[in-house]
Amino acid sequence: MIGSAEVRKSFSGDGASTITAEAIAALVAGELIGDAGASISGVAPLDRAGAGDLSILSSAKYASMMASTRAGIVLVDPELRDAPGTPAARIVVEKPFEKLLGLLPRLYPPELPTPGIAANARIGIGATLGKRISIGDYGIIGADATLGDDVVIGSHCVVGDQVSIGNGSRLWPSVTVYRGATLGDRVFVHSGARIGCDGFGYVFRDGAHQKIQHVGRCIIGDDVEIGANTTIDRGSIDDTVVGNGTKIDNLVHIAHNVRIGEKCLLMAQVGVAGSVTIGDGAILAGQAGISGHLSIGAGARLGAQAGVFGDIPAGETWSGYPARPHRDSLRASAALFRLAGMMRRLEKLLEEPKSR
């Protein structure tokens, strides 16, 4: 028990809770130095924090900011406990950034809609709704769809026929989930995302591009988060699968028949072509592009804007265009940057009069 100091029953103008240094120290099991009664109601970096903000000092390269910060309370790494600075309180704790992540829900309690179905929502015949469901204005739930307990469907969402959405999942406004897709438990899908649409598959026949009918499913595992305006295609004759715990950023495209393992990270504007397999724990940085029918090994890492045209072995880091092992990519870039100087020297030699 933390007692009465845990969280004050007050809120700042932006809706954040107010919490004292004493309460924070108890919550993170840290050493409190300074004013136990100092309170904050927001979070900000050291160089922009005010007296009502909590900040962190986790690296020596930010020590100069600590010296001039106006933050009210700072979480400080033990190696930097004596760093110059005058916050009202500092709390010495291992891994301060991780501790900050745990404090954010206390400072900014998530606001969930009150359970209920908007009067202008539409529920299809045979749909099954769990307990404590929330469906916003103009939400559409298709025939024979299944929503688990504590599901939140935002306004203007379309959940197609025979879609299944697991317990505790949430669709932000204007999400579309196509017919037959499956979302696991605690799946978060942000605005504008499209789940289970047809992939880009055509055969040129009789002088025209003939569409390949897509009959596969789109299966999203548990604890997956899908960013705004991301698209995930259904399978053509196989399934598209996203594994448990994988996090997908905004503006990502995942094509038909792709299989993504567990706990992967796909960052902004990544494009994954059809029938690619991505192993558990892989990380694809922003704007990486993966050609079709390739394999990305478990734990592999792709640098930003990597262009992948071959399989990536498990655990390796590749980058560049075309993608290659990261060290090779750096060497190739360095050689290219030297090329201009070499050309200038060569042109100068060619311009000199021929010796007799």
Which residues are catalytically annotated?
256
**In sequence order, which residues have a C-beta less than 8 Å from that of residue 333 and are 6 or more positions away?**
320
252, with CB counted inside 10 A (0-12, 13-18, 19+), is: buried
User: Which helix (H) or strand (E) element contains residue 240?
Assistant: strand 240-242
Decide: 17 and 41 in contact? Cβ < 8 Å: yes
How far from the centroid of its chain's Cα atoms is residue 108's Cα?
A: 19
Amino acid at 83: A
In angstroms, the CA 238 to CA 218 distance is 9
- Residue 67, SS3? helix
| Single-letter residue type at 330 | L
How far the first Cα of the chain sits from its last, in Å, is 95
Token representation of residue 207: 């002088």
At 102, give phi and psi (nearest 5°). Answer: -70, -25
CA-CA distance, 141 to 52, in Å (whole number)? 44
- Name 20's Cβ contacts closer than 8 Å, sequence gap at least 6: 5, 8, 36, 37, 38, 39
Coil, helix or strand at residue 131: coil
**Alpha-carbon distance 2 to 25, whole Å?**
10
Is the previous residue joined to 110 through a cis bond, with omega within 30 degrees of 0? Answer: no
**Quick check: 255 and 218 in contact, CB under 8 A?**
no
